[in-house]
Amino acid sequence: MSNSHPRKKKRKRLNKEAKDLLSKGYVKDHISSTSITTGVNFTSTVENGRHLTSNITAKYAYKNATVDVIFDSKSNLSAAIGFHGEFLPSTKTIATLKLPDYSSSKLRFQYFHKHDALVTSLVLSQSPALRLSASIGNPTIALRMKAVCKTGCGFTKYDAGIHAANPNRTASIILANKCDLLKASYVHRFHQPMKIAVGAEITRSFSIKENTFTVAGSCKVDRMTTLKVKVNNHGKLDTLFLHKIRPKFSLSISGEFDAKALNKFPRIGLALALML
């Protein structure tokens, strides 16, 4: 078990890097959230010269407990308290309480084994929702399934996919949105000083009979600077410039240009993140 967990973490990291290359950090979700370890993080986001949000996030961890507090520019305060306890071998239980929006509180149970994993969570709202996620495989290839069941509504979501990964490449085929969306993606990494990565994604929506083809690339200009770009067959071009001014202070600039909407100004996003 001790040897399998590092391999699972590495596979999870590779899959996350592939997903981030094709979707994360651009204008539409520009620095909407920043994950931190223990400490205080300040994030401010500006788009097209218009200030959108400012968030102060604090996280404290002690033994098996974590406390997250978020205060935003709209004077909203929310807190999440998590407890991690290993009651049985290969299992972990997490209880999370969010305030003042207590309806999003949840109870989560995780089971990890050498070749499979099972995660279930119960959202404690007026219409409780049960979320189920399961995977089976090894660090090289895995089959995953997700489903959401709500009281009185039955299954509102079910996805299935197969993922393959190694240090140089990641590939996946996913059937999502109740079998309405088919998505296939591939990312290749070039291990050199610039750490260049290129990827492509094809999606097919059966309900509206639409295909989308996206290509993306990223590179590390230096130790503190990263560039990302993606473009699809609908004429949308997204770019992202991320620079760490200091180890705990970063600047992010993103842009979005739509070739089919030349009468509109390109969208530009600016974000500053500071961790104390």
Question: What's the CATH code of the domain at 181?
Answer: 2.40.160.10
Tokens of 71: 């205060």
Of residues 3, 34, 18, the one with CA closest to residue 218: 18
* Helix (H) or strand (E) segment spanning residue 14: helix 4-23
DSSP 8-state secondary structure symbol assigned to residue 223: T
pLDDT digit string (tens) for 4-13? 455 556 666 6
More confident residue, 200 or 36: 200
Between 48-57, 117-126, 150-159, the lowest mean confidence (pLDDT) is in 48-57
Local structure of 105: helix, strand or coil: coil
Count of domains in the chain?
1
The dihedral built from the CA positions of residue 110, 160, 189 and 259, taken in this order, carries a sign that is negative
Whole-Å CA distances, 105 to 62, 84, 195: 21, 15, 39
pLDDT digit string (tens) for 195-251? 899 999 999 999 999 999 999 999 999 989 999 999 999 999 999 999 998 877 888
Asked if 249 and 273 touch (Cβ cutoff 8 Å), the reply is yes
DSSP 8-state secondary structure symbol assigned to residue 221: E
- Residue 151: which domain range? 4-275
- Amino acid letter, residue 88: L
The pTM assigned to this predicted structure is: 0.73
